Amino acid sequence: MSRARIAVLVPLLVIGGSASAKKPKPTAAPVVGWHREAGWTADCWYPPDFSTVSAGDKRMSWQQNRDAIVGQWRGERNDGVSFATTHVDNLETILLAKADRIESVAKDNLEQCKKAVAPGGSTSAWESWLVTEANKLTEGECPSPPLDYTAFNYLSINNEWQNPLPVCKGDHIVIHGTDADYYQIEPGGPFVNVAGDPNAKVTSSLPCNIEGCVKGQLILRFRSDSGATVVVPIGLAADYMVPDHGHIDVMINDDNLADNKYKVEKGMEHHTGIEVKPAGAK
C-alpha cells in the first residue's frame, strides 16, 4: 500500500510591499554658492537656508554671503555685472550696520540675478533694485548714529546758526553754555552771558521771539529731515527732546550780529563754550 502524499501549502509572507516597488530617488542637495544655468550670461549667488545655519556659524555665513554678493555688484567677477559705486557703497553700508539683513537681501538678490542673466535679461532693473532695497531697509531709521556722546565747541557771537549736529528722533539731550563768559550785544550795552539781557526788548525780528525768548541768549534751532523747523530758547542750559530725525544748531538771539563783541579782561578775551550731551550723562 503506497503512502499518500500530502501537499502542504506554506503562505509566502512578503515584507515591505511588492517586489516591483521602486526605491525613491534621493533628494538633490540644494544649490549653495555660485551657480549658472544653461543660457545664463553670468553666475548667480545662491544663499543657504539660514534657518539651518547654527547660531555659532551665522555671523561667518552673513559675512561670506555679503562679500560674495557685493563683490559681484562691484564687477569683481568680470562677468558683465557691474553697478554704480554710489549704489553699491550705500547698500553695503546698510548691510554692515546690521549684518543679519543679508538673509533677506541675499534671497531677493538671487531672484534679481536670475532675471538679469537669463536670455533677454538686463542688469538695469537689478541695479535699480539696489536703490529701492536700500530705501526699504532704512525706512524710518535715523540716517546718523544717535547723539550718545558729548560735543563741545565755541560760540561765535558774530555768526548766525553754527555748530550743526545730527540728531535722531527720541534723543534726549542737554545744551549748556558757559556762564562765566560775557559779551556785549550792542555798543555801550551791558555785558551778558548766554542767559541774555532780560531788560532788552524782544521784537519780531529776532530769530527767537516766542514766550521764554530773551535777546542775547543762547537759542537752538531744530531742522527735521522732512523740512520742519523749530527755534527754542536755551539760555544757560536746557533739556531738549528731539521730535524727529534731523539736525540742531545754535546762535545767540540777536538780529544784528556785526556789532557784538566779547569782554576782554586782563588782556584775555572771553569765549563762550557750548556743550551738547545726552541727558543724564556726567
Task: Report how far apart the first and last C-alpha atoms of the chain are (Å, whole number).
Answer: 121
Domain ranges of the chain: 33-138, 151-278
**Nearest by Cα to 194 from 156, 166, 161:** 156
Strands (E), 14-86: 33-35, 44-46
> How far is Cα 246 from Cα 171, in angstroms, rounded to an integer?
11
pLDDT of residue 188: 93
Q: What pLDDT is recorded for position 25?
A: 67
Is the Cα torsion angle 263, 268, 269, 272 positive or negative in sign?
Answer: negative
Q: Residue with C-alpha cell 525768548?
A: 213
Q: Using one digit for the tens of pLDDT, what is the confidence trace for 206-257?
A: 999 999 999 999 999 999 988 999 999 999 999 999 999 999 999 999 999 9
pLDDT interval class at 22 (50, 70, 90): low
- The amino acid at residue 95 is L
Task: Supply the pLDDT for residue 170.
Answer: 92
Kindly report, residue by residue over 46-82, the tens digit of the pLDDT: 999 999 999 999 999 999 999 999 999 999 999 999 9
Q: Are 59 and 77 in contact (CB under 8 A)?
A: no
Is 120 exposed, middle or buried (CB count within 10 Å of its CB: 0-12, 13-18, 19+)?
A: exposed
Yes or no: say if 257 and 160 are a contact pair by the CB < 8 Å rule: yes
* 147-197 residue pLDDT tens: 889 999 999 999 999 999 999 999 999 999 999 999 999 999 999 999 999
- Tell me if residue 72 falls in helix, strand or coil: helix
Q: Is the pTM higher than 0.85?
A: no
Assess whether pLDDT exceeds 60 at residue 4.
no
Closest CA to 109 of 79, 65, 77, 78: 65
Alpha carbons 278 and 280: distance in angstroms, whole number: 6
Q: How many C-beta atoms lie closer than 10 Å to residue 256's C-beta?
A: 9
Longest CA pairwise span in the chain (Å): 155
From the DSSP assignment, how many helices (H) and strands (E) are in the chain?
4, 15
Q: Are the CB atoms for 277 and 174 separated by under 8 Å?
A: yes
- Residues 112, 87: contact at Cβ < 8 Å? no
In angstroms, rounded to a whole number, what is the distance separating the alpha carbons of residues 11 and 57? 56
Residues 6+ apart with CB under 8 A from 57: none
Calculate the CA 156 to chain-centre distance.
Answer: 32
CA distance linking residue 109 with residue 102, whole number of Å: 10
Domain 151-278 listed as CATH 2.60.120: yes
Mean pLDDT over 262-273 rounds to 96
